[in-house]
Structure 1
Amino acid sequence: MELGHVTRLDDVARALGVSTATVSRALSGKAGVSSEVAERVRRTAAEMGYVANVHARTLAGGTTTVIGLVVHEIGDPYFTEIAGGLVEAAEQNDLLVQVCHAGRDPGRELKQVRSLVAHRVRAVVLAGSGHTDPEVDADLRALLDGFTARGGHVVAIGRRHLESDALLPDNTGAGATLARHLLELGHRRIAVLGGPPGLTTVQDRLAGIHSVLDGREDVELHVLETDFTRDGAATAAVEVVERWPRTTAVLALNDAMAIGVLDTLRRRGVRVPEQVSVAGFDDVAVAAQLSPSLTTTRFPLTEMGREALQLVLTPPSGEARRRRVDHQLITRESTAPPPQE
């Protein structure tokens, strides 16, 4: 074969003495080709360096082997671990994953999903909180409805308002579990660092905390709104220390935020957990490696990514499949009984 020649479908067909249609069906996994012939086609194509022209196939009206994953913050370990599980499962099924970073901006997210749909991805996976105001996601829902009507597949992770297959972490239960943990240790002066109130994850986790702590006359509870990030929590932790210096426990609504709190307290010379206990949500991989290691509630993040891919591979039924993801309290070094007065 000449130097610089790009191997085409008909090159493989000629080498095997079969039709290009047979080669195409074998490589795409369609019916009508025996397993023996399909294996011979795949082996020969690989030996000849054939690479499928995905763009041409898309223009012909098909879908790509690409899964679009849209996350709020690619740098947040929560989304990194979900993405890792999805990518690993996709590779095992000869699929690729295109990851998009929305930055918790609904307009940016909509633009990215439009691009994925225009490129005829096989499925769109949306990971991260939805919005409490249904109007915020109205255009996104309309776009996804059209995508599914044309044969696309949508899977949501953590979004309960979308009418699609979904994995739904028990955020309310996790909030209640952490609040009870702090109460059982003896904490009565507690600060909660929440995120933007328009996010359903923030709403649900706060609801769980309030279900345990509200109405207790012996509890002094302060809730601060901040960015749902490490930096946002680090800044809020300064406010906690300065406004409510007698606080004995800080509960951050995700582990990245809790890490920001630990950093601020360390810089201020506040000992954890001897003076102040700190807890988070999600149990990202680094939580066990911190000093002190972080008490949190565990969601199986990598497995959630894998399960999202399984939902993509399973043909949709007439009804959206909604799977609850349970949590587990992971008690580590960052929480202890409050100091004696």
Structure 2
Amino acid sequence: MTVTLADVADRAGVSPATVSRVLNGNYPVAAATRERVLAAVDELDYVPNGPASSLAAATSDLVGILVNDIADPFFGIMAGAAQSAIGEGGPGRAGGGEKLAVVCNTGGSPERELTYLTLLQRQRAAAVILTGGSLEDPGHLAATAAKLARLADGGTRVVLCGRPPLPGDTTAATLAFDNRAGARRLTEHLLELGHRRIGYVAGPADRTTTRHRLEGHRAALAAAGVPEGPAAHGRYDRSSGYEATSELLRLDPELTAIVAANDTVALGVCAALRDRGLSIPDDVSVAGFDDLPFSVDAVPALTTVRLPLHEAGVRAGRLALGTEPAPPGGLATVPAELVVRGSTGRPRGWPADAGG
């Protein structure tokens, strides 16, 4: 049964004229009303009548790049690299000519993520790139998978960059970071140095990236027969690292090392330790994740796990253009590399010639 504009208006509880204004974008509409209309469009999978509907499988020159936080270098690096790769398209080049790459900042909101996907579907985007980990909520995952399937059915290329594949999804080309292996190798490094009391500052508990990194950390401890130290969850930002450090040291004042969810969190950990008069790494070793550009300039330079964010972004852009073939089976695992710097060392009193 064909869904009409009147059906959308009825679902949203507004007039057909209001729906038209929202879809055409030619008249100001209250934000709450606009969200209701777009939600109804999404739920009913409404396709406007007229010339556009006859082009359901055609796409525009628009590419959407979804990020959680454009101010976070983790996302900024990938988005910038993808934009540059997409900019390689042009007259006479592969990829179908010039494309307009637009960065869509979700602020970590699952509702905003789905809204952007709806808007990109309406614009018949040539491609959509979703970056970073996803929310571990079955309802949201199912809604996202359904939306991506509809985008793909309309001719939109779908690329996941730094995000694990969605359950049951066969539409997306996926570049998944090996967060588990990276976190495991980082913890093994600390164990080899002699650390046995290791705290962990994790990211938000409902994110795939958080869970995978924490699983890798715990797997290394279990393999070595070392009990898990205290852990705290928080945001992927400096203040979270600072606040969590006080809690970890309250739970175990004898900690000799702290692993942070990412490099930005690690900066907060370092600041909190310095404010308590503790030396890094002599009193407490600190390690991060991602190898963001500032990590090498921290004092001391930060031991971390390097993810090839720029290279992954470039690949995502080329996959979006179709100038790079999709990986076998649609999935490529992007390896993580341990980078040892000055922020980690042997625990105080550990013999210099002792083994791990």
Shorter-chain TM-score bucket reads: 0.7 to 0.9
1:128–1:317 distance in 2 versus 1, CA, 3 Å:
closer
Gaps of 5+ in 2: 1-50, 90-97, 351-356
Q: Structure 2 CA distance, aligned partners of 1:150 and 1:218?
A: 52
**1:75 and 2:79 equivalent?**
no
Which one of 164, 179, 184 corresponds to residue 171 of structure 1? Answer: 179
Aligned ranges for residues 201-216 of structure 1 at < 5 Å?
A: 201-214=209-222, 216=224
Q: Structure 2 CA distance, aligned partners of 1:317 and 1:201?
A: 23
Q: Structure 1 CA distance, aligned partners of 2:102 and 2:127?
A: 11
Contact map agreement 2:198 2:256 (CA 8 A) in 1:
yes
What residue is the counterpart of 2:344 in the other structure? 335
- Name the aligned partner's letter for residue 330 of structure 1: V
> TM-score, normalised on structure 2?
0.75
- Name the aligned partner's letter for residue 250 of structure 1: I
Q: Structure 2 CA distance, aligned partners of 1:319 and 1:59?
A: 33
Contact map agreement 2:86 2:318 (CA 8 A) in 1:
no
What residue is the counterpart of 2:83 in the other structure? 87
Give, in angstroms, the shift of residue 313 of structure 1: 2.1
SS of 1:221 mapped into structure 2: coil
> TM-score, normalised on structure 1?
0.78
Give, in angstroms, the shift of residue 147 of structure 1: 0.8
Contact map agreement 1:169 1:325 (CA 8 A) in 2:
yes
Contact map agreement 1:81 1:301 (CA 8 A) in 2:
yes
Q: Structure 2 CA distance, aligned partners of 1:167 and 1:319?
A: 11
1:228–1:89 distance in 2 versus 1, CA, 3 Å:
same
Runs of 4+ in 1 over 4 A off after TM superposition: 57-62, 215-220, 315-320
**1:120 and 2:128 equivalent?**
no
- Name the aligned partner's letter for residue 334 of structure 2: V
Contact map agreement 1:255 1:281 (CA 8 A) in 2:
yes
1:319–1:299 distance in 2 versus 1, CA, 3 Å:
closer
Structure number with greater Rg is 1
Aligned ranges for residues 229-240 of structure 1 at < 5 Å?
A: 229-240=237-248
Contact map agreement 2:132 2:163 (CA 8 A) in 1:
yes
Q: Structure 1 CA distance, aligned partners of 2:199 and 2:234?
A: 13
**1:226 and 2:234 equivalent?**
yes
Aligned residues: 285
Which one of 194, 203, 207 corresponds to residue 186 of structure 1? Answer: 194
Q: Structure 2 CA distance, aligned partners of 1:216 and 1:251?
A: 17
- The root-mean-square deviation of aligned C-alpha atoms, in Å, is 2.3
Q: Structure 1 CA distance, aligned partners of 2:208 and 2:289?
A: 15
Give, in angstroms, the shift of residue 196 of structure 1: 2.1
How far does the alpha carbon of each residue in 1:189-222 deviate from its partner, in whole angstroms, 9 at most, with x for none? 1001112222111111111111110265554522
SS of 2:296 mapped into structure 1: helix
**1:135 and 2:139 equivalent?**
yes
Contact map agreement 1:177 1:329 (CA 8 A) in 2:
yes
Gaps of 5+ in 1: 1-56
Which one of 309, 329, 334 corresponds to residue 317 of structure 2? Answer: 309
What residue is the counterpart of 2:165 in the other structure? 161
Contact map agreement 1:230 1:259 (CA 8 A) in 2:
yes
Contact map agreement 1:191 1:251 (CA 8 A) in 2:
yes
Identity of aligned residues (%): 36
